Structure 1
Amino acid sequence: MQTPTLPRWRHRSAAIVTGFALVASIGITTQVAYASPSGTTTTKACATPWAPASSYSSNAVVSHQSVNYSAKWWTQNNVPGSDPWGPWTSQGTCGTVTDPTPTPTPTPTPTAVPTTTPTAVPTATPTTPPPTTPAAGTPWTSNPDEKCRPDGLYQTPGVNVPYCSVYDEAGRELLPNGLEQRVIGYFTSWRTGENGAPRYLASDIPWKKLSHINYAFAHIDKNNKVSVGAETPGNAATDLTWPGVAGAEMDPTLPYKGHLNQLKKFKKENPGVKTLVSVGGWAETGGYFAADGTRVGDGGFYTLTESQAKIDTFSDSAVEFIRKYGFSGVDIDYEYATSNSKAGNPDDFAISEPRRAVLFENYMKLMKTLREKLDKASVADGTYYQLTVAAPASGWLLRGMEAHQVVKYLDFVNMMSYDLHGAWNNFVGGNAALFDDGKDPELAAGGVYNAYKGIGYLNSDWAYHYFRGAMPAGRINLGVPFYTRGWTNVQGGTNGLYGSSVLADQNKCAPGTGPKAGGNSKCGDGAGGIDNLWHDSDPMGGELAAGANPIWHVLNLQKGVVGDYAASYGSPTGALKGTYTRHFDNVTKNEWWWNDTTKTFLSGDADQAIQAKADYVADKGLGGVMIWELAGDYEYNASKGQYEMGSTLVNRIHSTLSASKPYGATKANVKMPTKAIDLGVELKNFALGDNNYPINPEAHFTNNSKTTIPAGATITFDSATSDTGEMKEQSGWSITKDSSDHTGSNVGGLKGDFHTYTIKVPAGGIAPGATVSTKLAWTLPTSMISNFRVSIGSEQYALLTDYPRGVSVVEPSAGTGGGNGAGPVESCNGAVTWSAAAVYTGGAVVAHAGSSYKAKWWTQGEVPGSGAANAWGSPILCGK
């Protein structure tokens, strides 16, 4: 298979354009409906067309210009879609919508599959499945392996998932090689030794020092299935061989060759090490590489997730793929399902930009489907299959990913806590700072420090605390780069750090960067030539200058050695100009190399940064470390006098994480109630892109129990310290901040995990089956609010929405929750007595004059039943 000429080698976590647009003054973008590719036609009905003269109440649905909208509150003469802060919320396109013809969803029996591999997921579920909604007073589930399920992990209804094959009874993963925390390495398909370049094969992986290996990358083929292009002769994944290379001999019992043969062979020898297939990546999120090495930009994840039929096809094929090739699970590297414009690969913008409004919603559907199908396959095969993601760490990208509601479906998150600075702009900073120091020039230029109480969001510690808001520490892994990024012609800074580097001709900026990308951003002067060994190429084969080098190469530069491999990468082989000195900052833990002669700055993680991060992971109880990529690690070849590919940094990480304490396995830092009620919580209707400031979603509470949750009951929850701790409530429920684990700037790191808030259930309570909502507002991105505790009278309950461990399901008590002046509970369908002084929101239920009524929208002082056009719905007689 030819070497692709387009960028594919890296993850990328930061935006390709300057990403400091968290400040409100950036401007307003219009919500855009999207057009699907040509194919079969389906129809989603349009609601009644919007009319300027008509008045609309809360939850009314209209259509306008082929988009359905629902009303957030009473409105008249406000054009749907014209005001992102206005009363209308998009419900997606309507009318005629075209979808590519989906492939059939049944999974065919793979050809040439070892006889021990099951060929289909049995349709029958276990004989004693847990009920979808457990009866009151019963355990959360009857699954005997529930004791091993990680805290907060989604449980597929009706399936007895074999969690104990992978997790212990504390919900911690069973790890090999003496590790207490994960060491995950990405192994890439393209370091094959082609053109004489150094090769990195499965035999080079330090299997005795790792817990997981992610194979990068598979892609989505034209039939919406997981593929590695296996039908292509010479394919590195399934056909290539390396005769005469010790350790690279093929396993003759397998019907395929290549990397996948090698991975399965070594996994047999190291059964505790898990292997996952990673699907996507920077270059293959929106397309894939054809047999001739050209990129087919057919939409990838962006179009796959447009229909459930295609999602089902993909998910079924993922199960088939991991069974066929012996993988332990699936890793999704979708870059990126964010509503922020101009994020991800510029080659995909024609496809990704028109779909921004629905990308995250569709991403949630994909992850839920994958989780459920992998769980069912786990039951059928008697072994648990993992689902993970590579997630961005930049606050700019995360702000467009709502509250990252997908985390409940994931065994763990691998944070791409690198590429936080790069030559896509002129601000010279560290590739992967662990901490903020209050001096990041990109954040300062955007006014971020002034806007957010000194909190900077381009560092690993901030990203960890973002995800910590919704996950145990042990389900979060810190990403580290075994490579550099850098600039040349750097002006100012301290040995280049925090200087500036502007490409002289801004008409020659890389695609998606500089003035042509929009805004006021200038692209940087990326380091090239010998300072850019692992460079990407443009479609014409030209070098994209980015200062991209494996750690072993930059150590050779530091030593004054060009390396005998330079010519194989197309890099200069002449004498080096100037000298490269290594530097390390004790606050940020940035590590970099500076050439004062050429004014070249290269930043990546070597010994000092890796040790600091391994210590951080051990001390904070994170799940572990994720490495992009293993081939960047080094060892010294004394006979050649140069550094080469090795495992020195992996050995350092293993040494630290095998001597650490077990990782943190609980979501909450307080003792949670052992009784739980079924009160669902959803955050919905986030604004899009740059309009998502302040972050201002609706919080919907749905009572799935049989008992009213009374007015005055309190709901306490935690939110991540990635935000400033100033959450507001905007619908009259009232909110108080009970405590805060961190205040002030995050110089040197955030000091704790949570801000804790309490809101009060409004008048009317939450009747059985009812949904009531309020609006919350905060500023910096946080993941899903969690660790809910509901207090009713003297009783306190956990919520099933948190997927807690070790709880029994009960009905809420009949207490009044402390009261709020709305009067006593009336014996009328479980409702409270209406009060003229009380404020009621949509969905609230009250009792009045022998009947109960449900509020249609916000109201105060309107007597239930007093008029057909008022805020109250039709009466229901008491006892009905």
Structure 2
Amino acid sequence: MHVKLTGHRARVGAALATTAALLATMVVTATATSSVAATACAPAWSSTATYTGSATASYGGVNYRAKWWTQGNVPGTETTSPWESQGACGTPDPTGTPDPTGTPDPTGTPDPTGTPDPTGTPDPTGTTTPPVTPATGHEACRPDGMYKTPGVDVPYCDVYDADGREKLPNGLDRRVIGYFSSWRTGTNGQPRYLASDIPWNKLSHINYAFAHVGADNKISVNAQAAGNPATGMTWPGVAGAEMDPSLSYQGHFNLLAKYKKANPGVKVIPAVGGWAETGGYFDADGKRVASGGFYTMTESQAKIDTFADSTVAFIRQYGFDGIDIDYEYPTSNKGAGNPDDFAFSDAKRGQHFQGYVNLLKTLREKLDKAGAEDGEYYMLTTATPSSGWLLRGMEAYQVVQYLDYVNLMSYDLHGAWNEHVGGNSPLFDDGKDPELTAAGVYTAYQGMGYLNGDWAAHYFRGAMPAGRVNLGVGFYTRGFQGVQGGVDGMGGKAVPPAGFSCPAGTNGKCGYGAEGVDNLWFDSDPMGNAVPAGVNPIWHALNLQKGIAGDYAASYKVPTAVTGSYVHHFDPVTKNEWWWNASKKVFLSGDTTQAIGAKADYVADTGLGGIMIWELAGDYGYNSAKGQYEIGQTMVDLMHSKLSATTAYGATKANADRVMPKQAIDMSIDYTQFALGDSNYPINPKVVFTNRSKTDIPAGATISFQYGTTDTGEMSDWSGMKTATVTKGHTGPNVGGLKGDFHTAQFTVPLGGIPAGGSITNQLKWTMPIAQFSNVIVTIGGVSYSTTYDYPRGVTVVEPTGGTTGGSTGGTTGGTTGGSTGGTGTCLAPAWSATETYTGGKVVSHSGRTWTAKYWTQGEAPGSQQWGAWSDSGAC
């Protein structure tokens, strides 16, 4: 559950070096390094050896030191690497003879490590490595794995560099993204947080919360209403909040534009939706209108187009850098999201995710077209759930290719919507999560826990580069009262007393949320009463630890007296922080610098893109004159310190141990026919592999793909294709974190092959949620190819060898196997078509044989499935 607590740009262009120039620089550097090497080489690195922190190895004429545990990571080949260079080693060999220490051989001799050879010499691993023409223009800056809008010269280089990495301001190597909420205006006497209070010199992005979907399906901030906070409010006499008179609007948008002029590298992006405005919106009078919001807007393409067109106009009008979609949630699980929206969300829950896909694809294409017209790139991002339960109802998350990055809502993982007392935002599982234990999850899934940031990060890492995934942190608490059991409250239960009225959506089985002085940032129910949930900014939690309520408490209409002692705790495994008041039995969980520091280190060490904050106004500083904590920037300062002193983020979908071929064939993969989330056990969709080449892929070819370690690694199929996991990136419980990013699975293309323009359907089966497949390799006759499905960088799209070129029937009758003897040589039945619908009894020809449909079918190639829709009627 994710509660959003309620309530023109200046760019400096820079010349970009081409990929060829960068490669040339690397060669020159390597040559210069080897010419001065004099240090002895450590033992040669081995792909099978395990190295722990401080271990040394040599590779490529350079000594390396391991920064942490590693196996299979090739030194010097990864942006975010476990290896740290210690400088050149060994004696240079002027003859060009291969160096046994692993120094690259300039003669072009095949490299037994499988590293691509730029000379075009075949690689003995089976991967072909022909010369590749470097991408030119803006395509050279497109991030790995990102969809490219057809026919549009998208200005990627406005935002991304020649490696496809986002260019970040303020010395940052990773993103620091802060949500800035519209409602902390100070007009009610409560602490104010305006654009002038934002630490602009420490952030990379600012997300404004929130815009909404209006009744007309257009994006809105109620700009037509006088005095609205986005475009109409002013703050006379507040230093730093003076309006920019050159702009035609006032409010937060005026101040955001004003400060962005002084900080042009910081991107400002409005967010649409949130918990309260996903299925409706607040009108100008502050009353919620249950319009259906995202749920109804995504019902038709016409409505989606209206919203997307208005979004482009909105971005242009106010000078924003893109749009953030905070749709909570397009899942097929029953009773998910805001209870106020159940009339919409439960009624058509099997349709929401397809609507979400259509929305994001449309936005991507319209933003790209607008960006090409305007000469600047517009970003598309999302706030995404982190709970494995919610993600089970979101199919295989078939939208990541349209997104610049995802912001994980890796908080609100425990709260008073049930009685199990756990941390608000655990980074790791400890095998003892109270909610998962009660539900038998550990027993069912080999000890795997899915309510933690690490699991969520690996879910998305399985489908996109690490650098396009941002870990979420909360600058607020969640908490319980009346806690029984556990260790200092953690892991206990908070059962409400008799007669307690549980909030809507909890089926009368809620927890006993903390209230009063322990619930400063409370939401209100429809009657205006505070919802007990233990929600507080971190600065208030620190004041409770000091034994004071702060001089602001009365403005929130909570008690000002503090009783008992709030003792701070930190768990080194989960990285949970919490305060426990033993006399009151109150438990409050939230992050301060201890947890934030650990999470920033995790982001740096794993190659993730950065950190997203909900919300900036929860950060703290100490007012020594008043003797209390107040709004500040202590935790943002810590993030900036850590994330400006690390390495660049991971920019490739594949890790170094999965060398992707530089030739690719045109193949798409579609994930279809998922059960509703509550019935999706096991997860068993029909996955369609479509050969969009002009050449058949023959039977016997293999298709290998990787998928996230958020699943237990038991991939199989119900199609007779003998799909199996061939390597596992992680096994067993995930206490302290998942150890690898990918499992690798493989199957063999069946009888009939995949004809040019045709497809095969493999009904695959796995256990826990994964986000799509990645790093797909098709091998035909010993030659391996990447696929366009992965939207890779720097590949050459070719026709596969080893198949048969499609004939005059559009490429649907090709194939090298499947009954080429025994018939007359002439097929009289019409050729099978991948797009035609067939009913039982229909007869077609395909791959030199005649086939009869057993029942209704479309898109299933005859002979592609052992127990499929077609009956083999013999050779023709």
Smaller-chain TM-score range? 0.7 to 0.9
What is the aligned counterpart of 2:319 among 318, 326, 350? 326
For 1:482 and 1:405, locate their aligned partners in 2 and report how far apart those are by CA, in whole Å. Answer: 30
Q: Which of 185, 190, 196 is 1:197 aligned to?
A: 190
Aligned partner of 1:78 in structure 2 is: none
Q: SS of 2:305's equivalent?
A: helix
Preserved CA contact (<8 Å) 1:856 1:873: no
- Cα distance per residue 1:799-856 (max 9 Å; x no partner): 101100001110011259xxxxxxxxx997445232899xxx9979999999455675
Structure 1 position 514, deviation (Å): 3.5
State the shift of 1:874 in Å. 12
Amino acid at match of 1:197: Q
Q: Which residue of 2 aligns with 1:341?
A: 334
Find the partner of 1:592 among 570, 578, 583. Answer: 578
Q: Does 1:621 align with 2:607?
A: yes
CA 1:303/1:612 → structure 2, altered by over 3 Å: closer, same or farther? same
Matched with 1:793 is 781
Provide the rounded CA distance (Å) in 1 between the counterparts of 2:600 and 2:664: 37
2-side partners of 1:385 and 1:675: how far apart? Answer: 30
Q: Secondary structure at the match of 2:349?
A: helix
Q: Which of 290, 295, 316 pairs up with 2:309?
A: 316
1:611 partnered with 2:597: yes
SS class of match (2:649): coil
**Aligned AA for 2:448?**
I
Choose which of 457, 467, 472 in structure 1 pairs with 2:460: 467
Code of the aligned partner of 2:693? S
Task: State the 1:273 CA deviation.
Answer: 0.3
Q: TM-score, normalized by length of structure 2? A: 0.79
Which residue of 2 is the match for residue 635 of structure 1? 621
Contact 2:817 2:847 in 1 (8 A): no
Match of 1:722 in 2: 710
Aligned to 2:555: 568
Matching residue of 1:697: 685
Q: Contact 2:470–2:610 at 8 Å: present in 1 too?
A: yes
Which runs of no fewer than 5 residues in structure 1 stay unpaired? 1-5, 12-136, 516-521, 817-825
2:520 equivalent in structure 1: 533
Q: 1:713 to 1:140 in 2, by over 3 A?
A: farther
**What's the CA shift string for 1:14-36, capped at 9, x where partnerless?**
xxxxxxxxxxxxxxxxxxxxxxx
- Tell me how far 1:871 sits from its aligned partner: 2.3
| Match of residue 733 from structure 1 | 721
Cα gap change, 1:147 to 1:577, in 2 (>3 Å): same
1:773–1:842 contact (8 Å) kept in structure 2: no
Contact map agreement 2:475 2:537 (CA 8 A) in 1? yes
Residues of 1 paired with 2:214 and 2:499: CA distance? 36
Q: Is the 8 A contact 1:702 1:769 kept in 2?
A: yes
- Which structure is richer in relative contact order (CA contacts within 8 A, separation 6 or more)? 1
Which stretch shifts more, 140-149 or 363-372?
140-149
C-alpha distance 714-509 of structure 1, shift in aligned 2 (>3 A):
same
Q: Between the two proteins, what is the percent identity of the paired residues?
A: 62
Contact kept? 2:688, 2:761, Cα under 8 Å: yes
Would you say the 8 A contact 1:843–1:857 is kept in 2? Answer: no
Cα distance between partner residues in 2 of 1:545 and 1:827? 63
- Structure 1 residues 836 and 363 mapped into 2: Cα distance closer, same or farther (>3 Å)? farther
Q: Report the AA paired with residue 9 of structure 1.
A: L
- What is the DSSP-based 3-state SS (H/G/I as helix, E as strand, rest coil) of the residue aligned with 2:752? coil
Letter in 1 for 2:818: T
AA aligned opposite 2:634? T
Equivalent of 1:552 in 501, 516, 539: 539
Which residue does the alignment assign to 1:383?
A: 376
Worse-matched range after superposition: 506-515 or 522-531: 506-515
Single out whichever of 139-148 and 616-625 deviates more from structure 2.
139-148
Change (3 A) 1:709 1:571: same
Distance in 2, Cα, partners of 1:454 & 1:142: 45
| Structure 1 position 729, deviation (Å) | 1.3
For residues 535 and 842 of structure 1, the distance between their equivalents in structure 2, rounded to whole angstroms, comes to 59
- The 2-side partners of 1:501 and 1:863 are apart by 58
Deviations 1:223-268, CA, capped at 9 Å, x for gaps: 1111100111111100111111111100000000000000001011
- Alignment match of 1:582 (pick from 555, 563, 568): 568
Distance 1:325 1:230 in 2: 12
Alignment of 1:2-401 (within 5 A): 8-9=4-5, 144-401=137-394
Residues 730, 775 of structure 1: 8 Å contact kept: yes
Decide whether the 8 Å contact of 1:535 with 1:545 is kept in 2.
Answer: yes
CA-atom RMSD in angstroms? 2.8
Q: Secondary structure at the match of 1:244?
A: coil
Which AA in structure 2 matches 1:152? G
Do structure 1's residue 682 and structure 2's residue 670 form an aligned pair? yes
CA drift at 1:640: 0.5
Alignment CA distance shift 1:315-1:849 (3 Å): closer
- Aligned partners of 1:557 and 1:490: how far apart in 2? 18
Amino acid at match of 1:834: G
Does the CA contact (< 8 Å) of 2:540 and 2:629 recur in 1? yes
TM-score (norm 1): 0.79
TM-superposed CA distance for 1:863, in Å, is 11
Query: Structure 1 pair 827/513, CA: closer, same or farther in 2 (3 Å)?
Result: closer
Say if 2:809 is the partner of 1:813: no
SS of the equivalent of 2:350 reads: helix
Which amino acid letter does the alignment assign opposite residue 211 of structure 2? A
Conserved 8 A contact 1:197-1:569: yes
How many residue pairs are counted as aligned between the two chains?
723
1:795 CA drift (Å): 1.0
Q: Per-residue deviation at 1:736?
A: 2.8
For 1:7 and 1:794, the matched residues in 2 are separated by 53
Q: Could you tell me which residue of structure 1 aligns to residue 107 of structure 2?
A: none
The CA distance in 2 between the partners of 1:359 and 1:562, in whole Å, is 44
Which one is further off, 793-802 or 735-744? Answer: 735-744
User: Higher mean Cα deviation, 671-680 or 382-391?
Assistant: 671-680
Secondary structure of the residue that 1:871 maps to in structure 2? strand
The answer on whether the counterparts of 1:708 and 1:767 sit within 8 Å (CA) in structure 2 is yes
Does the Cα contact within 8 Å between 1:766 and 1:844 map onto a contact in 2? no
